[in-house]
Structure 1
Amino acid sequence: MADSMDLVQQRVEEELARNLANAKQHPVGASEFFCLSCDAEIPEARRRALPGVQLCVTCKSIGELKSAHYSGGAV
């Protein structure tokens, strides 16, 4: 039977694996200067902070909210 430290270690390993998987999903390459969805200019600070960014903050937020809504997640 697993003790509490084993369970904690298992959770830590699962979290690390999940974070690594999320990090690998970020696009690599040049950032867009204009949002692919609404054609608004993407600020330079956002382009530097997120390499490969393709959407402005507003469009990205809307997409995440729609994704959470349609997948049954709480908003």
Structure 2
Amino acid sequence: MANGWAGDGAVQDQIAHSIADEVSRIRSLLPQGEGCDTCEACGETIPLARRKALPGVRLCVACQQERDKEQTAASPYNRRGNKDSQLR
């Protein structure tokens, strides 16, 4: 059943778009390129297991945790420009 300006499934479409946007944002934060043996921030050795698990890693666990705290989450709103873009 249509609900005002929103078509059938508008809420599900909004949720799907929001999830896809967030997945794209997180994937863009993953390390790329050649990794390092030592942390770029503090100079500590990056364990071999971490380098194997995350190819392209450039920070040790402690420095990565600090950087992750500084990252801000994306807005929960879908900014696709339609009337229903403010649905959550």
TM-score, length-normalised on structure 1?
A: 0.70
Q: Which AA in structure 2 matches 1:10?
A: Q
> Partners in 2 of 1:64 and 1:25 — Cα distance?
10
- 44-53 vs 19-28, which moves further: 19-28
Q: Which AA in structure 2 matches 1:53?
A: V
TM-score, length-normalised on structure 2?
A: 0.62
Query: Aligned pair count?
Result: 68
Structure 2: stretches of 5+ with no match in the other structure: 73-88
Greater relative contact order: 1 or 2 (C-alpha under 8 angstroms, separation 6 or more)? 2
> Partners in 2 of 1:57 and 1:15 — Cα distance?
27
The question of 1:14 aligning with 2:36 is answered: no
Which of the pair has more CA radius of gyration? Answer: 2
Instruction: Report sequence identity in percent.
Output: 29
**Which stretches of structure 1, 4 residues or more, deviate above 4 A after TM superposition?**
none
> Partners in 1 of 2:10 and 2:62 — Cα distance?
42
Asked if the contact 2:34–2:56 (Cα under 8 Å) also holds between the matched residues in 1, the reply is yes
SS of equivalent residue, structure 1 residue 31: coil
Structure 1: stretches of 5+ with no match in the other structure: none
